Structure 1
């Protein structure tokens, strides 16, 4: 996209007492809202915008930085500034025990995963407590980044007692499907949700700024006989997920 094709270049930014950088931000927001600027469209460079609108590059940089912080634009190192992808809002009910794959498939979204780690090691103290294990017992660990329609949505780190899953490499797509195939289907779970701000590693994996809001979830899933079969710690993107619970008055 060149400067002449910038949706509001011909009309300028108007007058008034509002600071120029705020007027530029409103103009870009309006272009995005009207569809003149579409998701993943590239914006002209700072110099082009400044020359076309007869404003300083400092003003342009301040306006773009604010919109990047608001999630409307994204900047790619060495590439430029782009309109951010439209982020869907997903509601996740808390009343049903389902896997990530099942949740996304019900919404008509295709799921993929990127394995971060699949190993066997001695359970940590927290894992041993939640999974009712002895200190020397081992667990199968599965860590992965979960995508829906190509967008990174969640980081999951699961620990499974080896008597239920001896080899973590046996899990291909769905952990629950692998457990079900072995006769160890979880039937209930306890989840604890808390607010979190993403550190550098998690933010990079989820393609959001460092410090972004996230939902941190700990889940312990149980078999019909009451034995704990899974302890999972996850980070879900806070700009996408809403968890919903139905309450009744007893």
Structure 2
């Protein structure tokens, strides 16, 4: 593993003039995506990585910190740094399910239960600021990481933004970006839930199992709402994290 990471870092150094901490961050991320660093794998210590790659410990620490924030790595006090086994999703960054899983070396895919165009419901109209009678693309899908079901998701998108639901196969955000509607901001609400019978069946967990429900409304640069999504994540596979800043001292 150390040899593979060392080689990947050297390749990054040859291909880019980015700062050393970014090259190391990309090398570790690429090694995770390619499976050279598997879930739960322990990384060498900061001191050992610095020695192997001829970097300062400050550089190594900065590279690791960014990957911990992104949920690719996790740090355990007194034990070291590991490739994340659970999927750690930062609440402070607007990312897609597909992007989250790809960053962790997992293969995202979707199984659609619904993929259709329909008249907006009162709930969707309020969430997306649409008039009664407007049309939306409606998605109901089971989201997988490799072969494991991880989330159930219901989404609504204004039909004048995405006119054909068949355009969406895995990543909605990739489709929106291609259409010139890249999401730039979102409002989210997270709460604990217990899965009902249908959700439990789809996620292959016992009925009543603990989960996390996420509601998201997403905006593009001009302020228009382009997505209303409700997702139910398996509580045994996902952690949501947020960085909090204290108020500055008044002296």
TM over 0.5: yes
Alignment of 1:1-250 (within 5 A): 88-250=85-247
| 1:203 shift after superposition | 0.3
Unaligned ranges ≥5, structure 2: 1-83
Higher helix share: 2
Structure 1 residue 149: Cα displacement = 1.9
Question: How far, CA to CA, are the matches of 1:192 and 1:139 in structure 2?
Answer: 22
Residue 215 of structure 1 deviates from its aligned partner by 0.5
Instruction: Encode CA deviations 1:54-85: one digit per residue, 9 max, x unaligned.
Output: xxxxxxxxxxxxxxxxxxxxxxxxxxxxxxxx
Q: Distance in 2 between matches of 1:220 and 1:161?
A: 12
Distance 1:203 1:247 in 2: 33
Q: Deviations over 1:168-220 (max 9, x none)?
A: 11112211111111111111101101111111111000000000011011100
Q: TM-score, normalised by structure 2?
A: 0.64
Q: In structure 2, how many angstroms separate the alpha carbons of the residues matched to 1:235 and 1:88?
A: 19
2:162 counterpart SS class: coil
In structure 2, what is the Cα distance between the partners aligned to 1:157 and 1:88? 26
Q: How many angstroms apart in 2 are the aligned matches of 1:177 and 1:102?
A: 9
Which whole-Å CA distance do the structure 1 matches of 2:212 and 2:85 have between them? 16
* 2:214 counterpart SS class: strand
What is the rounded CA distance, in whole Å, between the counterparts of 1:115 and 1:88 in structure 2? Answer: 26
Q: How far 1:88 moved relative to its partner?
A: 3.9
Structure 1: gaps (5+ residues): 1-86
Distance (Å, rounded) in 2 between the aligned partners of 1:112 and 1:234: 15
* 1:120-141 deviation line (CA, Å, top 9, x unaligned): 1111111101101001111000
1-side partners of 2:89 and 2:178: how far apart? Answer: 25
CA RMSD of aligned residues (A): 1.2
SS at match of 2:180: coil
Q: 2:151, 2:231 within 8 Å by CA — same for their partners in 1?
A: yes
TM-score normalised by L of structure 1: 0.64
Counterpart Cα distance in 2 of 1:102 and 1:90: 12
Distance 2:202 2:85 in 1: 18
Larger radius of gyration: 1
- Could you say what secondary structure the match of 2:202 adopts? helix
Q: How many residue pairs get matched?
A: 164
Q: SS of the counterpart of 2:192? A: strand
